[in-house]
Structure 1
């Protein structure tokens, strides 16, 4: 078991028990569409669809690890992919803003994976899965968390946390 800290509003929960997994219902099946001839080339995704958000601020040594395995130093304004890892060194931190206006603040000596992020700016539908492998993170939920809290999940090595608030802190003392 790993220790954890969860703070919701003025309430903090500290312990070493395993939390029950939040169940997210499967997405609704797509509406059938009449067959249409497929285009010769699939349309390219726009830059906004490829990026989950951007790095707002960096203090100290912060690295971004992309889905392709490339590591680069994080700088304010850098794009964050829909599947990226943020690694902070001692006495370091980073703030990230996602496309739905969710803010993630990653504390010192932390490792956070953005495992899944999708968001439709028109319908405000989407979902996200964040995995805190070690360290601390503060999340202020954006449109996804406010319109559909069940679509936002935070994992630690011992628990999956379903979001019911809009501003909370998670701390995990695990080794990756």
Structure 2
């Protein structure tokens, strides 16, 4: 009887905020943004607030939220969006996992050490599609209706690195500077777009100018973390050594482009 009672208490406890896994910390908010727990209670988002696994971030037309993840990544929830984290394991090895869901709207995601140590552990579900990465900075958009002449469906664009947009019908690799699309019905395989979707040009993002500085800060923190944890650095070396020729070529190109951007600043 006592054992059963203890089991029930532990099961109930994991649903309390203090017992759930922390995913990230809010570091910028604009407009109307709420964070809703598994109990259905929604509260206004504020800077410094912890976001836990299972909570849902919802933004209105004027709302945006940026949060730094526990693995030194960054997410930017765009206006008119609904986003949640379904699973998160920020272990400093190849067992790290981040699984997220974008129900509507747009999300920019800059991966932290999970994306570098275990990119296969990263998954974003968006509409009828899923997005996987190779250590990246990408943005995913879910349109539930036509906008600016663009059809409903899931869009993914890559700013740095590479992603894979998948559905039950197939997948497409998306490199930096490319845009991919999967129709809402999911009857056809995803494909690359010839140009950027028009709605990207018509968005008003009030917090976007702060992202470059945040990316630099997070990169510095990651470098310090690697210096303090040699085993973590060794795992990253092992991952690079395990890449095929095309993956190594893409990595060298990304590092080269990053160096050019740093020299221009």
User: Which residue of structure 2 lines up, in the alignment, with residue 78 of structure 1?
Assistant: 49
Check if 1:119 corresponds to 2:90: yes
Q: Distance in 2 between matches of 1:125 and 1:139?
A: 20
Separation of aligned partners in 2, 1:84 and 1:128:
14
Q: CA deviation at 1:48?
A: 8.9
- SS of 1:68's equivalent in the other structure is coil
The one of 122, 134, 154 equivalent to 2:124 is 154
CA radius of gyration, larger in: 2
- The structure with the largest strand share of the pair is 1
Among candidates 105, 127, 134, match of residue 164 of structure 1: 134
Pairs within 5 Å for 1:1-176: 50-121=21-92, 123=93, 125-174=95-144
Point out 4+ residue stretches in structure 1 off by more than 2 angstroms. 41-45, 47-50
Partners of 1:49 and 1:119 in 2: CA distance: 13
**8 Å contact from structure 1 (residues 59, 93) kept in 2:** yes
Contact 1:107 1:135 in 2 (8 A): yes
Change (3 A) 1:48 1:168: farther
Higher RCO structure, 1 or 2 (CA under 8 Å, sep 6+): 1
Alignment: residue pair count:
135
Partner of 1:26: none
| Partner Cα distance (1:159, 1:147) in 2 | 24
Structure 2 vs 1, CA of residues 93 and 149 (structure 1 numbering), >3 Å: closer, same or farther? same
Q: Tell me the CA shift for residue 72 of structure 1.
A: 0.6
Aligned residues of 1:61 and 1:92 also touching (Cα < 8 A): yes
Distance 1:124 1:76 in 2: 31
- Shift, 1:93, TM fit: 0.4
CA distance in 2, matches of 1:113, 1:174: 17
Uncovered stretches (5+) of structure 2, i.e. residues with no partner: 1-5, 146-265
Post-superposition shift, 1:172? 0.5
Greater helix share, 1 or 2? Answer: 2
Q: TM-score, normalised by structure 1?
A: 0.68
> Aligned in 2, Cα 1:118/1:165: closer, same or farther, shift over 3 Å?
closer
Cα separation, 2, equivalents of 1:172 and 1:77: 28
RMSD over aligned CA atoms reads 2.5
